[in-house]
Amino acid sequence: MQDEEKNQSPEPQAEGGENKTATAVEPPRNPNMKWYIIHSYSGFERKVKESLESRVQAFGLQEKIGRVMIPTESVTEVRGGKKYTSERMFYPGYVLVEMDMDDHVWHVVKSTPRVTGFVGTGQQPTPLSEEEVQHIVYRVGESKDKPKLKVKFEKNESVRITEGPFASFTGIVDEVNEDRETLKVMVTIFGRSTPVELEFNQVEKVV
């Protein structure tokens, strides 16, 4: 494993050189980094991310500021029978930054154009808990694997099944589970009304 190159890397000294080099060179992943949330002007989240990443390079803060992330989710919308997937921010106006916080880092981030401040109590930024980090980061990763459908279904409306063994059947929505993105649809099979559980992306509204 190679350490990141430094412009002015201290020469190891003959006596105790190993110890001095080990303390002088920071590991690539700073264990003191925590995730913080910063406020930005709504609509400028990506600009803030770009500006922050540029400032990290300009000030040589790679060991103090890590990843910069905009929490987004993939949303699939069905229009005219076709699926369109787009990215949508689920915390508009907020950007996540991984930092080893000190006064200098605080000032560099706070003075970034279009940043209005940190989320926290008073002047002291509050890092996210491990649980909050997992919730947000996991949600970001999950949404990329499984886009969320931007479509609302209601009980008693007619839908057409587009996938699976009942494709082309029509039925009536009996139950809607928004969290799991599933429907219970009553489908007439062999003259009998039968409940079928389907995912949102397996049906379309009958217009």
The mean pLDDT of the chain is: 78
CATH number of the domain bearing residue 38? 3.30.70.940
Q: Where residue 134 falls among pLDDT bands split at 50, 70, 90?
A: confident
The predicted structure's pLDDT at residue 112: 96
Whether pTM exceeds 0.85: no
- The SS3 of residue 117 is strand
Residue 79 one-letter amino acid: R
Q: What does the pLDDT look like over 64-83, one tens digit per residue?
A: 999 999 888 777 777 777 77
Domain ranges, residue 37: 27-149
The predicted structure's pLDDT at residue 45: 93
Is residue 83 domain-shared with residue 174, that is, in the same domain? no
Q: What does the pLDDT look like over 90-129, one tens digit per residue?
A: 778 889 999 999 999 999 999 999 999 888 766 678 888 8
Q: Which residues contact 25 (CB under 8 A, 6 or more apart)?
A: 3, 6, 9
Cα distance between the two ends of the chain: 59
Which tokens belong to 59? Answer: 């000030």
* Rounded distance between C-alpha atoms, residue 174 and residue 194, angstroms: 11
Give the mean pLDDT of 12-30: 44
Q: Which residues contact 89 (CB under 8 A, 6 or more apart)?
A: 45, 70, 71, 72
Is residue 125 domain-shared with residue 54, that is, in the same domain? yes
Running DSSP on this structure, what letter comes out for residue 119? S
Strands of the 115-118 sheet, one edge to the other: 65-69, 94-99, 34-40, 115-118
